Structure 1
Amino acid sequence: MKISAIRVTPIAIRDPALLNAAGVHEPFGLRSIIEVEGANGLVGLGETYGDAALLSLLTRCQHGLAGGSAFDLHRLWQQVQRHAAQAMAQTTAHGEMELAPGSLSSHLASSAYSAFEVAFLDLQARTLGIPLVDLLGGKVRDKVAYSAYLFYKWNAAVDPEYAPDPYGEALNPAQIVAQAQSMIAQYGFESIKLKAGVMDPMQEADAILALKAAFPGRPLRIDPNGNWSLATSLKVADRLQGSLEYYEDPTPTLEGMAQVHRASGMPLATNMVVTNWSELRRAVQIDAVQILLSDHHYWGGLRATQALAKTCEAFGLGLSMHSNSHLGISLMAMTHLAASVQHLSYACDTHYPWQSDEVLVGGKLPIVGGCVHLTDKPGLGVELDPHKLAELHDAFKSCRIRTRNDVAQMQRYRPDWRQIKPRF
């Protein structure tokens, strides 16, 4: 199938004031929407980060891909590599958001390839008239479970740039429980994750215990994004023994994680200290993590993540999926991938309930019983709404953000704020 045109459209989506180890989410999150149009008139879709460096690489690549075959993924990788060095030279490690690994300069090539690969596979599947999951070997499940993803957050009234959201303020355990109750009532999630590394660690541990009391039997996770020292990590582990499904990125570095696991016996998960194959090799050598949170956006695409799943299975590691602030194209790509992976040990993460915008015909995708259900529709099974795409592209053009920076956003409210790791 010959590619007749490729379009890369940057968009800005509204994001609430979600607190994390680096600071606070800006009022807009940046995404890039990929359209790969075939000579048959069908269009494959992809979605990825929209930060300046990756957007530059995507736009550099798009023109060289037109005229090639949508089935030629080797040529796609060659094109991405050809332009990646120049794009990487335009960014530095200074100020990069470690909490968003896919936008790091070291992951630019794999992130760009993944965005195009999803769109290529979507076009292939639409051309063949089959769901994308069939190109990945077929589905081993009809639906994919996701978890309620809770955040400490400010009320939107903190700044007129933030749009109102249905969840309100969450700064203490009672408000976190109320947030979970609201989210679970709407979406039916069966497991719960708390983004931590924000408040006093013991208060965050109290929030987990409050969730345990409010939702007995539901699997619980806590993720301070490496913002706790070894001593604090062990103190929280002692308080939460028997209460967690897994303990995610409590402390920085592979070596620190290995020490936490040895001392506490808790299973540790990560999307921060294992983000490439060399880090995975080292993690296995020192038994630093027991669950890997994969992410096709920066692990190199859907098929690369399938290989990662087999590797995790071979080494006895659990597997789930990391999330970022994303829309439905990304969610469906995650769902088709997860539906094709036999070795999926836990419900996946998703920020989707936090996003009010969407670029798809029909608006937001349903999450029922905590799951996204596959259909028999060709490709990803979703269609792009050109009017919503144009609207969100206009939002991108008018918003002040070009690269995510939660630290700078926090400094708008707390000028003396500095990113310290670990903070507690």
Structure 2
Amino acid sequence: MDSALCIDDVRLTPILIADPPLLNTQGVHQPFTPRLVVEIVTRGGVTGLGETYGDARYLGPARALAAALPGHPVTHVNGLFALAEEVGDPAMTAGVDERADAGGLRGAQTAAKLRLSVVSAFETACLDALGKTLGLPVHALLGGKVRAEVEYSAYLFYKWGAHPGGAPDAWGEAVDPAGVVEQARRFDRLHGFGSFKLKGGVFPPEEETAAIRALAGEFPGRPLRLDPNGAWSVATSLAVARELGDVLEYLEDPATGTAAMAEVAAGTEVPLATNMCVTAFEEVPEALARGAVRIVLCDHHYWGGLHRTRELAALCRTYGIGLSMHSNTHLGISLAAMTQVAATLPRLDHACDTHYPWQTEDVVTTAPRFRSGRLAVSDAPGLGITLDRDRLADLHRRWAEDDGRMRDRDDAAAMRAAHPEWTPGRW
């Protein structure tokens, strides 16, 4: 092994980034959300970048893995999983079990899944460093791109006009069909997205159905998606599917759990998608056997990185399951990684999700630009991005100075700070 490809140092930088008051079934986004930036430095002086969740429960496993990596080859990404398990301290994931939710929007969370979300950032950083060293884009390290552009979908949210006590943002309020349509018009005008996804589970289903109908009227023929994050009963899910079956591209996680999703799927022709009941390989067999989903939304943060995303895509291709890509509140590092791996997937059946247009802060020097709802796939070495160290330092300083309230994302707590009697809606 060329010594230049050995890992010399690993730097972890937790940060807080500004987040608008977006509503979901778990509450409302806080004014700031935590992310973790991973830098892997080789003995050859090359730095690779990765990004993942920055909540406290991710930082312990990340620090343990970072301490163990120096001296390992940057090419040995398959060994990251065993190493992360080997050095993991059970105390670091205390309280994380099969019943726990990470953010309330991911389905069942386990210590093993949490480790995968940590490893994903390290794997991405290793691939970025290797690509920069060899002068190759990450997509070349994954087998080569099959498309020059990756299509993304507009991600619509019900939202407040401002955080409580904060200044209004440029997007304004969206708490009814008219507000949702105006938001979609802005996405269309700024980024040219060809499809629209509405985050539901916030208001009674009939109100969200009316919003989808309004979108269909404003953008006839455009693919539309609705995602209530498991907030509905089977009966409600079926009623909404009947009402919107002529306009929905797919209905995402209308009910919670594989059993409920299978019951909904048996009663409707509307395709069901998920990023909640299938977020790990061990959850795939039951979901397929029961016919619970027709589309899986991959996410390299969930599945353990870019190589495992390709493994999931091959599995979906084998069993005739549609594939798209889930998004979290990510920055330009994760968006670059998403685009690189999406470019290598022979069958990507639906436009990918992205939160990125909602973010007003980043740690890369040049923000990606959507053109006609698409991102060009970079052929520059690695991920094709450059870290803005001054901005990274600013956002880390915000994290360091925080009194602890924002270091863990808690949408329910943020909602109850404004409405103490609030409880999640279930219909």
Shift of 1:419: 3.6
Shift of 1:104: 5.6
DSSP 3-state at the match of 2:407: coil
Name the structure 1 match of 2:373: 370
RMSD after superposition: 1.5
Code of the residue aligned with 2:124 in structure 1: it is V
Write out aligned runs for 1:218-257 (5 A): 218-257=222-261
Name the structure 2 match of 1:383: 386
Contact 1:173 1:206 in 2 (8 A): yes
Name the structure 1 match of 2:144: 138
DSSP 3-state at the match of 1:47: strand
Deviations 1:196-239 (A, max 9, x none): 00011011001001000101111000000000111111111111
Name the structure 1 match of 2:277: 273
DSSP 3-state at the match of 1:81: helix
Contact 2:107 2:277 in 1 (8 A): no
Name the structure 1 match of 2:203: 199
DSSP 3-state at the match of 2:248: coil
Q: Of the candidates 27, 47, 56, which is equivalent to residue 60 of structure 2?
A: 56
Is 1:321 aligned to 2:325, yes or no? yes
Name the structure 1 match of 2:398: 395
Shift of 1:122: 0.6
Code of the residue aligned with 1:221 in structure 2: it is R
Deviations 1:366-421 (A, max 9, x none): 1111011112210000000110000010111223322211111111111112346x
DSSP 3-state at the match of 1:69: coil
Q: Of the candidates 153, 159, 162, which is equivalent to residue 165 of structure 2?
A: 159
Q: 1:106 to 1:217 in 2, by over 3 A?
A: same
Distance 2:109 2:235 in 1: 30
Shift of 1:164: 4.1
Name the structure 2 match of 1:259: 263
Shift of 1:158: 2.8
> 232-241 or 85-94, which moves further after superposition?
85-94
* TM-score, with length taken from structure 2: 0.95
Shift of 1:78: 2.6
Is 1:344 aligned to 2:348, yes or no? yes
DSSP 3-state at the match of 2:360: coil
Q: 1:35 to 1:284 in 2, by over 3 A?
A: same
Shift of 1:87: 4.9
Shift of 1:101: 5.7
Contact 2:233 2:255 in 1 (8 A): yes
Deviations 1:323-378 (A, max 9, x none): 0000000000000000000021000000001100010113x211111011112210
Contact 1:95 1:405 in 2 (8 A): no
> 390-399 or 134-143, which moves further after superposition?
390-399
Shift of 1:165: 2.6
Deviations 1:6-52 (A, max 9, x none): 10100100001110011111111110001011111111000000010
Name the structure 2 match of 1:68: 72
Code of the residue aligned with 2:161 in structure 1: it is N
Distance 2:340 2:287 in 1: 28
Contact 1:98 1:104 in 2 (8 A): no
Code of the residue aligned with 2:145 in structure 1: it is K
Count of aligned pairs between the two proteins:
419
Q: 1:338 to 1:150 in 2, by over 3 A?
A: same
Contact 1:17 1:155 in 2 (8 A): yes
Shift of 1:102: 10
Q: Of the candidates 87, 100, 103, which is equivalent to residue 97 of structure 1?
A: 103
Write out aligned runs for 1:75-94 (5 A): 75-93=79-97
Is 1:107 aligned to 2:110, yes or no? no
Contact 2:15 2:34 in 1 (8 A): yes
Q: Which runs of 5+ in 1 are unaligned?
A: none
Name the structure 1 match of 2:335: 331
Distance 2:33 2:112 in 1: 21
Contact 1:88 1:108 in 2 (8 A): no
Distance 2:102 2:80 in 1: 26
Q: 1:370 to 1:103 in 2, by over 3 A?
A: farther
> 336-345 or 70-79, which moves further after superposition?
70-79
Code of the residue aligned with 1:156 in structure 2: it is A
DSSP 3-state at the match of 1:245: strand
* TM-score, with length taken from structure 1: 0.96
